[in-house]
Amino acid sequence: MKCPLCGSSSVGKVGVEQYYCWNCFVEYQFQGDETRVYSVEEDGSLMEI
Ligand SMILES: [Zn+2]
């Protein structure tokens, strides 16, 4: 598993089909062929980017 944005392998699994990149501080969700990218806000909520 590598980050689709930066290519780093510093990616941790945080849920089902959910991964977090420790390099760009964003979360990914894989839904079929689609990859959604979220930034994690200070309050812990996710904002799609
Ligand atoms: Zn990354």
Domain count across the chain: 1
Domain that residue 15 falls in: 11-48
Please report whether residue 4 resides in a domain: no
C-alpha 36 – ligand 1 centre gap (Å): 13
C-alpha 19 – ligand 1 centre gap (Å): 10
pLDDT tens figures, 9-43: 999 999 999 999 999 999 999 888 999 999 989 99
Beta strands in 1-49 (DSSP E): 11-15, 18-21, 26-31, 34-40, 46-48
Please report whether residue 1 resides in a domain: no
C-alpha 3 – ligand 1 centre gap (Å): 5
Please report whether residue 44 resides in a domain: yes
Tell whether the model's pLDDT for residue 44 goes beyond 90: no
Cα-to-chain-centroid distance, residue 37: 6
Tell whether the model's pLDDT for residue 4 goes beyond 90: no
Tell whether the model's pLDDT for residue 1 goes beyond 90: no
The reported pTM is 0.81
